[in-house]
Structure 1
Amino acid sequence: MELKPEQLAAQLEAGPLLPAYLIAGTEVLRVLEGADAVRAAARAQGIDEREVLEFDGRQSEDDWNALHASLAAPSLFASRRLIEVRIPSGKPAKPGAQMIVDYCQAPPPDVVLLVTTGDWSRKHSGKWSDAIGRIGKVAVGWPVKPHELPDWIGQRLRSRGLQADRDAIQRLAERVDGNLLAAAQEVDKLALLADGGRLDVARMDALVADAARFDVFRVLDAAMNGQAAQVARMLARLRSEGEAVPALLGMVVMELQRTAALARIKAAGGNLSTEFKAQRIWDSKQPMYQRALQRHPAPRWDAFVSQAGRVDRIAKGRGVRGEDPADAWLALERLLLAVAEPRATRMLARA
């Protein structure tokens, strides 16, 4: 039976670890906390030896032999080991899937297998995930829907020993604008600042910063994650707050250049995992790049970089005749909407 990561965390406190766990999903915070719960349970049960392996789904059988060797090797320092397999794409290559199936058919008593993915949908599941479900637990961190967010926040507040009025919870949900990480950070801050008593709207307003400020980092995350409606709304807010396009473009250009480099490596059949490490892209950010790279071919990312240069020229008054610097906002919006939604690329020709 498929669980939520929060349900898995509760179950882990109730009994010994099972032979295998799969924690998957695009909601990074929920996946990370679910995996942390397994690691914490392992430490509590005396499992101090941990090995981490990462695969991008394209490796050959020889590459996956590292997993086979780890599963078969005896523990060096402890009676039990936690072997963590990270598959950001959510799709193990055929040899990897078979190794997981084989492990689940006869799990060794000294190993607990933890598989995490950064991308997940119904089409990702298969014999390998079903095999994990038969001997262990499968938890999926689906994105929290807008109407579910107040309940998620309320539960998290209660887990920190806080009580809040429904209107106060709704106010916090509005301020974090669907960002679970921001919500978690604000709840942790409330746990430190709240001095007892029930939180009402006025108290919530006094203690919580406006985490829904739409800075350039969040605009870029929305574009890379394919959230076109949020891109348009965030840019409108930035413009209304008096931000200047040139002040935003440095980060925009850097992000597009980085993604264009990743796209070229992917097109050439290179190892994205190695490049992620070389560019110091955190594990939690890698699924975002994976999704963006699936939407556009490599040449289009190079075209996006060129378009960013054009936006810069317009903003500085060096565009073609008839282009006003004020047009830079429209050009920037069209560029980032195209990044988010392939169908919007046709607007660039008219930009």
Structure 2
Amino acid sequence: MQIFPDKFIPTLEREFRGCYLIFGDEPQQKFEILQALRSKAKQQGFTERTVLVADTDFSWNTLLDATQAMSLFADRTLIELELPTGKPGTEGAGLLTDIAANLSPDTLLIIHGPRIGKDVQRTKWFKALDSIGAFTLCYPLEGNALSGWLSRRLQQAGFQFTPGCVKMLADFCEGNLMAGAQEIEKLILAYPDKQIDEQKLSQALVDQSRFNVFQLVDVMLQGDKERCVKMLYRLESEGIEPNIIIWALIREWQTLWNVCQLQQSRQPIVWQKFGIWQNRQGFYQQALKRLNSEQLTRIGDQLTQADFLFKQESVVRPYIKLAHLCLLFAGVPLLHMPLSDTEMAV
């Protein structure tokens, strides 16, 4: 049974299961869910806690022993298992499947790790554990989902606020829920009367928005020019190597080019062949409505040139060139507006 992160704690109060699978790359939601589980487990008498990490040196017999051991000091045991890669491997998968069939009601098993895909959710071990428990996927929030999360957080803190406050807060902490939660905690101390507006908020906030390259690519494919430039600015300030971004742009160009060729030859597009799941297919479709094969050819030439210059470390301000490239993907007609030599090369 899947439980969405914003519904997890209310659901936990109503129903307590023997196993929970918590995956995703959004730390704030994961932290709060794990803390809620630990607190609830303690209330339910799971007073002994065992923490395991399935790294390269991990012995799966350790987990088996933990699920079978009877403590002299506690009737019920909480076992937390971290899967650093999101996958247990062949040996671990078999053992987890067996554990799901024989898990004692006096043992609570929590498994957590990074973002996983549908391939993991379809595995035998995942389904077996889900059948006796529940799973939650904690992914970064954007747009309306982020605004809703912030609004609920402000309401829970007792604030009276305007819609503009939510938008401002979202702009400041986009891609970093932890920063949003911290800023609201600061607001509680700064404004004990719980009355805030845009002016008060602008005085109190520190811009802590954080993005990763994958988010940048999705926004670029959607054609959101303003957000694209903002993300590049933040990535530059965080010291992300330009070569990482140029590699991502080349990879996306190759995918768009291949799909474009299939469309032109009226061949069926098997999205999974390109590693593109249903939730991202629309991004590529949007991009291909803006870009024809001629435009893609020219973008490919620009990428080749930029890749060569970046590898030679002969670009003074590489993020200017990256912005130029991203805006080309977004459909801005810049192909006939090359950057000047002073902006590009030493």
TM-score by length of 2: 0.63
Question: Any conservation in 2 of the 1:86–1:117 contact (CA below 8 Å)?
Answer: yes
Question: C-alpha deviations, 1:75-124, integer Å up to 9, x for none?
Answer: 24211110001112211112212222222212113210001011222222
Q: What residue number does 2:156 align with? A: 159
Q: What residue number does 2:21 align with? A: 22
SS of the counterpart of 1:2? coil
Q: What residue number does 1:6 align with? A: 6
Q: What residue number does 1:127 align with? A: 124
1:9-88 aligned within 5 A? 9-15=9-15, 17-56=16-55, 63-88=59-84
Question: Any conservation in 2 of the 1:82–1:111 contact (CA below 8 Å)?
Answer: yes
Q: What residue number does 2:328 align with? A: none
**Which of 200, 206, 219 lines up with 2:203 in the alignment?**
206
Following the alignment from structure 2 to structure 1, what is the Cα–Cα distance between the partners of residues 156 and 9?
A: 12
Following the alignment from structure 2 to structure 1, what is the Cα–Cα distance between the partners of residues 124 and 173?
A: 38
Question: Any conservation in 2 of the 1:52–1:83 contact (CA below 8 Å)?
Answer: yes
Following the alignment from structure 1 to structure 2, what is the Cα–Cα distance between the partners of residues 66 and 55?
A: 10
Following the alignment from structure 1 to structure 2, what is the Cα–Cα distance between the partners of residues 34 and 94?
A: 28
Alignment length, in residue pairs? 255
Q: What residue number does 1:189 align with? A: 186
List gaps (5 residues or longer) in structure 1: 213-217, 257-306, 315-326, 338-349
Following the alignment from structure 1 to structure 2, what is the Cα–Cα distance between the partners of residues 238 and 72?
A: 47
The question of 1:102 aligning with 2:98 is answered yes
Following the alignment from structure 1 to structure 2, what is the Cα–Cα distance between the partners of residues 183 and 75?
A: 41
Following the alignment from structure 2 to structure 1, what is the Cα–Cα distance between the partners of residues 21 and 235?
A: 40
Question: RMSD of the TM alignment (CA)?
Answer: 3.5
Identity across the alignment (%): 30
Following the alignment from structure 1 to structure 2, what is the Cα–Cα distance between the partners of residues 81 and 154?
A: 37
Following the alignment from structure 1 to structure 2, what is the Cα–Cα distance between the partners of residues 49 and 147?
A: 40
1:1-351 aligned within 5 A? 1-15=1-15, 17-56=16-55, 63-125=59-121, 126-212=123-209, 222-223=212-213, 227-228=216-217, 233-234=230-231, 236=233, 311=313, 327-330=315-318
Shift of the 149–86 alpha-carbon distance from structure 1 to 2, 3 Å rule, reads same
Shift of the 50–252 alpha-carbon distance from structure 1 to 2, 3 Å rule, reads same
Q: How much has 1:238 moved relative to structure 2?
A: 8.9
Q: How much has 1:237 moved relative to structure 2?
A: 6.9
Question: Any conservation in 2 of the 1:101–1:131 contact (CA below 8 Å)?
Answer: yes
Query: What is the identity, as a one-letter code, of the residue corresponding to 2:179?
Result: A
List gaps (5 residues or longer) in structure 2: 221-226, 245-308, 326-343
Question: Any conservation in 2 of the 1:97–1:128 contact (CA below 8 Å)?
Answer: yes
Q: How much has 1:6 moved relative to structure 2?
A: 3.1
Q: How much has 1:169 moved relative to structure 2?
A: 0.8
The structure with the larger Rg is: 2
Shift of the 152–38 alpha-carbon distance from structure 1 to 2, 3 Å rule, reads same
Query: What is the identity, as a one-letter code, of the residue corresponding to 2:21?
Result: L
Following the alignment from structure 1 to structure 2, what is the Cα–Cα distance between the partners of residues 139 and 118?
A: 12
Following the alignment from structure 1 to structure 2, what is the Cα–Cα distance between the partners of residues 237 and 132?
A: 39
Q: How much has 1:328 moved relative to structure 2?
A: 1.6
SS of the counterpart of 2:59? helix
